[in-house]
Structure 1
Amino acid sequence: MLKSTAKLSPRGNSLAVTIPKEVQEAAGLRQGDDLSLIVRDDGVIEIRHAAPGEADLEAAFEWSLDRYPETYRDLAK
């Protein structure tokens, strides 16, 4: 597990966070990636790669297959 800290900075009417390089690399993030932000009931913010739009089913399947290979192996049994 990798832990890091970051600061929020004003960006227009929003706030921006800069993701440190080691976090970017560990998470496989690249400039232009779509991210999903989830705020849990306990206030924890989860940042994840966003799944591709449902319109592109093949891309969604490939993304899912790359992201959850063990699950697909278990389902194939």
Structure 2
Amino acid sequence: MTEENLLEAVRDAILRTLPELDPEVITPDSTLSGLGANSLDRVDILMDVNEALGCALTSQDLTAGANLRALVAALHEHVR
């Protein structure tokens, strides 16, 4: 799966959790907190991504990613 596909999966999960967001504001340099996601939102996004991609990222993987680009890189390692 390409990093672009992974970013799209993350973007979809964010929009399912935060439907009020304008999709245009979600960029690889965005952070979840910068997009308005609180700690419960971040857990929901993580669970959604894990289910959609069949992977097992942990909350540590999520917090280690300072931005979506870093999160996608972590996903890329788990999904290969």
Output the TM-score relative to the length of structure 2: 0.29
Output the TM-score relative to the length of structure 1: 0.30
Q: For the pair shown, which has the larger CA radius of gyration, 1 or 2?
A: 1
